[in-house]
Amino acid sequence: MDRKRVLITGGAGFLGSHLCERFLGEGHEVFCMDNLITGALRNVEHLVADARFHFLHQDVTEFIHVPGDLDYVLHFASPASPIDYLELPIQTLKVGSLGTHKALGLAHAKGARFLLASTSEVYGDPLVHPQKETYWGNVNPVGPRGVYDEAKRFAEAMTMAYQRFHGVETRIVRIFNTYGPRMRLDDGRALPAFMGQALRGEPLTVFGDGSQTRSFCYVDDLVEGIYRLLHSGEKLPVNIGNPREMTILQFAKAVLEITGAKCEIQHKPLPEDDPKIRQPDITRARTILGWEPKVPLEVGLQRTLDYFRGRVGEPERV
């Protein structure tokens, strides 16, 4: 097999670490770049013994350098949960703008194929349902969530500009809600919040009446979709996510059922600009990539629960 050299920014994060694992498993050499602002070394510590794995403690918004050739650059560096990007608004905007510029510049210099981790948040609080890649979105640029939404929208525009102006081979994945091992219990997203509360015997916090919907994709399915997109010829954005839509209240009850917890559900006010609906149209992924999610919710929840059971009470950012 032809071994490739791959840079993954944000490689010590939840998604980045699973991608590092996948590329090593495929026989490639992996450079994992992370400043550890939201990532954690323990996510990749099991990979350090592999001579093909290299950890670079570096901020992608600064000058970045990787010695030798590079075949692929996957740009996954960014705070990705509401708690993180509301605490780190300037860093979120910088990694989406300056970080994307630096990563694209490196890909251009090395003649590497570039893949951008974008997000369903580019659709904002959508007025179209389900969301197709052709939908331009409904985003509040001056709201608190705008720092993440607009950073990713800018990153997409920058990526397309490098493709059109510099001829860089680029791919854009729009990632919908994803869950699985290596999420942080304190990252504020629905699944780790619910599981952490259930395991500690605390009430589960549901914002609003819980009727807002999300579509949850297990991380192994997402990584498969990303891997296929990178190796495809598709230059336009592709949604990768699970089209099985459910309300947040239904999801909370599913977590209670799988954990066996007898906790109450506690309602709190809905955060500003929180999307009311979220469901990917994955027609493009099915057609172009032959991809769709395989892992049932119940199986994914059990795998994630097994991981979290050993994490309750531990410090998160190690």
Q: Does 113 fall in a domain?
A: yes
| pLDDT at residue number 315 | 55
Tell me the pLDDT band of 1, cut-offs 50, 70 and 90.
low
Report the C-alpha gap between 107 and 5 in whole angstroms: 12
The dihedral through the CA atoms of 154, 160, 162, 164 has a sign that is: negative
| pLDDT at residue number 318 | 53
Token couple for 301: 């929840």
Over residues 36-69, the pLDDT tens digits come to 999 999 999 999 999 999 999 999 999 999 999 9
Q: Does 258 fall in a domain?
A: no
Greatest alpha-carbon pair distance for the chain in Å reads 57
Q: Does 151 fall in a domain?
A: yes
Q: Return the H-helix or E-strand segment holding 216.
A: none
Over residues 253-300, the pLDDT tens digits come to 999 999 998 999 999 898 876 788 889 999 999 999 999 999 999 999
- The string of DSSP codes covering 237-287 is -EEES---EEEHHHHHHHHHHHHT----EEEEPPPTT--S---B--HHIII
Token couple for 121: 């948040």
Weakest mean pLDDT among 55-64, 136-145, 272-281, 307-316: 307-316
Note if 227 is an active site residue.
Answer: no
Q: What is the mean pLDDT of residues 80-86?
A: 90
Report the C-alpha gap between 64 and 45 in whole angstroms: 22
Q: Does 200 fall in a domain?
A: no
pLDDT surpassing 90 at residue 73: yes
For residue 294, count CB atoms less than 10 angstroms from its CB and return exposed for 0-12, middle for 13-18, buried for 19 or more: exposed
| pLDDT at residue number 288 | 98
| pLDDT at residue number 277 | 84
| pTM for this entry | 0.95
Q: What percent of the chain is predicted at pLDDT more than 90?
A: 87
Q: Does 28 fall in a domain?
A: yes
Backbone angles phi, psi at 74, to 5 degrees: -110, 115
Active-site residue identified among 148, 162, 218, 227? 148
Give one word for 239, left, alpha or beta, with left for phi > 0 and alpha for psi -120 to 50.
Answer: beta
- The string of DSSP codes covering 148-198 is HHHHHHHHHHHHHHHHHHH---EEEEEE--EE-TT--TTS--HHHHHHHHH
Q: What is the mean pLDDT of residues 172-194?
A: 92
Q: How many CB atoms lie within 10 A of CB 12?
A: 27
Q: Does 11 fall in a domain?
A: yes
Over residues 222-231, the pLDDT tens digits come to 999 999 999 9
pLDDT surpassing 70 at residue 243: yes
- Give the SS3 label for residue 46: helix
CATH of residue 235's domain is: 3.40.50.720
Q: Does 35 fall in a domain?
A: yes
pLDDT surpassing 80 at residue 130: yes
Q: Over the chain, what is the mean pLDDT? A: 94
Domain that holds residue 284: 5-178+219-242+280-294
Token couple for 187: 């990252």
Q: What total of structural domains would you count in the chain?
A: 1
| pLDDT at residue number 187 | 85
| pLDDT at residue number 313 | 62
Q: Does 209 fall in a domain?
A: no
Report the C-alpha gap between 212 and 232 in whole angstroms: 34
